[in-house]
Each structure stands twice: as C-alpha cells, then as structure tokens.
A and B are shown apart, each in its own frame.
Chain A
C-alpha cells in the first residue's frame, strides 16, 4: 500500500518568514495530495490540495508543488503569522486502493 513520509517533524520560524514542509509517497497510482491543518483539540481541516495533472497550486499565502517523477510534494507558507502555528499533515490518495494515507505530521511554530 501507499507509504507517505513527511519532514521535518517540527519546524520553528520567525513571524514573516517562509515555512516549507516536504513529503514523499511510494504508490505511483496516487493521484490526489491534500494538506491538512490541525489545531489543538480539533480535527484536521483541508487547507490546500493538488491533483497529479498539476505541478503547482497557490491559494494566497499557501502553495503546494508536486513532482510526480520524484514522487514528492511540498507545502510552502509565506509571510507566516502566529495563527499558522499548528500541526500540518500531508496525505496521498490512491483511487485504486481508495485509501487516504497520511504522513506523520509537522508541528509548525511561528515565533512572534
């Protein structure tokens, strides 16, 4: 089945700086890659996603890039703010397996 690895496990940045979180996946049949943000005591919420026919997608301060050949995708957050502090999860979805497999998470801390 799919295996998704995520790095780093913790990331601290100064407010206003950029943050990058990277993930790799193993199943070449995976075609959908969402990113979720989880705030303390809450369930994960989708913040951005990308499908395998697209190389990059942006939504205001958030962007995701996908390299299908290398089987890796990344989350980029620019101009970070304290409210960006949370745990971020990447995931890969294989239509054939119909499973959504998550990475191990990144605790992002934005320092004021």
Chain B
C-alpha cells in the first residue's frame, strides 16, 4: 500500500524555470491538497481539490497552478520559479468530512537559485 507518493523528492531550479510536482494516491480519496512548509510558518495551503476535475485556491496560491485530471493524481505547477518559492512541498489526500484524516506524502524539497 503506497499511500501518497510525491515525485520528485528533491529539485533545484534556476529563477524563471518551470516545473511540475506530481502527487499520486492509491486510496481512492476525493480530496487532495498541496501545502508548502517554511521554517516557523507551519504548513500553508496552496491549492486543493475536492474531486476529479475540480481545483480551488488556498491561502498562498500566487505563482502556482494545479490540475486534477485523474482522481488519483494532483499536479502542482510552477510556471516561472522565484527564490521565494524555495520550500518543502507536501501533498495530502483524504476522504470528505465523514472521514477526514489526511495522509501526507514524504515531501519535495525545492530550491530556486
């Protein structure tokens, strides 16, 4: 049982480059989330999805785009990376409110130079 898998685990980008982070879950969860974790600031929600084909903005969406074309996958895109996007990114998935435990991936450490 893989749970939530994030790809890649580490990445270094140059300012202005683009990349896509992939999150895959095998638990048939409806909800998926992308968070960024910065020292002293906890986990801040970037974008989330409550079902296939739907996406919504979280607390810090600027500079990011997402897509949920398949239920099991949630993609986070950076079109033009900036040093301020240096962070650890976590994906999570869960069922709707009746069972709300969120399962997290192992994280992607992104450095923008």
Contacts and interface: CB of A to CB of B under 8 A. Distances in A.
Given A98-B31, A99-B58, A102-B35, A44 B101 contact: no
A36 to B, nearest CB: 8
B102 interface: yes
A100 B104 contact: no
A93 B97 contact: yes
B45 interface: yes
Contact of A100 (B45, B56, B96): B45
Contacts of A104: 40-42
Contact of B43 (A42, A44, A46, A98): A44
Interface of B: 4, 31, 33, 35, 40-45, 48, 50, 56, 58-59, 90, 92, 94, 96-97, 100-107
Given A103-B42, A104-B42, 4 more contacts: A34-B100, A98-B48, A100-B94, A105-B43
The 9 closest A-B pairs by CB, nearest first: A43-B104, A104-B42, A102-B43, A95-B97, A102-B42, A105-B42, A44-B104, A32-B100, A43-B106
